[in-house]
Amino acid sequence: MKTPVSGFYKNPVKFRMPTSENLVPLRLDIEIDGHRYKDAFTWNPSDPDSEVVVFAKRTVKDLKLPPPFVTQIAQSIQSQLAEFRSYDGQDMYAGEKIVPIKLDLRVNHTLVKDQFLWDLNNFDSDPEEFARTFCKDMGIEDPEVGPAIAFAIREQLYEIAIQSVVSARESRLSKKGRRGADFTPVSKGGAVAVDLVKLFGIKSSVVRKRKEWDVYEPIVDLLSNEEVDVLEAKEEKNFRGSISNNI
């Protein structure tokens, strides 16, 4: 028997990634003296912090990057881990919650677009296994595509988990407000979380989305060298533009 929609609001669990492994998705994009290091990977937040510096030193050595990259890589990882750990012990909503996951990524010459529904209440879900199956079914041979798909899924699930924490917090504050206690206005992030609950916490909305996506098929394209060059030039231009805007 399925949990009623109202159960979504009554069954908070402590914050963690809604997957079998509690891994943090990290993104790094660092440029120093004309050298650029860009990567995306997952990290176990339970690993000792000393591993961060070891990783940074090994990366700089393997890629022959300038020594200042060690500090920048380590600081970027540590700051993202600190943000993840800041949610430790906080409630996040559980119960029946189906959310959309969208893929729109390019890995080398492979372009992948897809959208599907993901059950946040399934803490045994495995993005890496899903990605391996996806690549096998679609005949994708590039070994870098699977990890990129899994990372994209984890990144979206992480964002939704954070929104669930904010939503749980706002719910508690709202209840206190109705009892006459101090009430804190809903933050910008809280408003996003509430909108997410309204959109995907209702069975009819989920059914409508499911009907639409049952006929949706994933798109996998192999790009030519010329197409890749054009896309990479565009990405580099956007990167340079973002740097200029931040100066």
Q: Which amino acid is at 231?
A: L
DSSP string, 124-165: T--HHHHHHHHHHHHT---TTHHHHHHHHHHHHHHHHHHHHH
What is the pLDDT, as a whole number, of residue 200?
39
What is the rounded distance in angstroms from the CA atom of residue 109 to the CA atom of residue 222?
6
What is the rounded distance in angstroms from the CA atom of residue 91 to the CA atom of residue 158?
14
What is the pLDDT, as a whole number, of residue 63?
97
8 A C-beta contact, residue 120 and residue 18: yes
Element (H, E) at 83: helix 68-85
Question: Which token pair is 81?
Answer: 């881990």
What is the pLDDT, as a whole number, of residue 196?
39
From 177, 212, 174, 208, select the one nearest 194 (Cα to Cα).
174
Averaged pLDDT in 10-residue chunks for the chain of 247 residues: 39 87 97 96 96 98 97 98 96 77 95 92 92 96 97 96 88 64 36 38 36 68 93 82 66
What is the rounded distance in angstroms from the CA atom of residue 238 to the CA atom of residue 232?
10
Q: Which amino acid is at 37?
A: Y
Question: Maximum Cα–Cα distance for the chain, whole Å?
Answer: 65
Residue extents of the structural domains in the chain: 13-89, 92-247
What is the pLDDT, as a whole number, of residue 114?
93
What is the pLDDT, as a whole number, of residue 178?
55
Please tell me whether residue 183 adopts helix, strand or coil conformation.
coil
Treating both helix axes as pointing N-terminal to C-terminal, what angle do 145-178 and 127-138 enclose, rounded to 10 degrees? 140
What is the pLDDT, as a whole number, of residue 11?
62
Is the pTM of the predicted complex or chain greater than 0.85? no
Q: Which amino acid is at 48?
A: P
pLDDT tens-digit profile of 201-230?
A: 333 333 334 455 455 689 999 999 999 999
Give the phi and the psi of residue 214 in degrees, each rounded to 5.
-60, -30
What is the rounded distance in angstroms from the CA atom of residue 20 to the CA atom of residue 119?
12
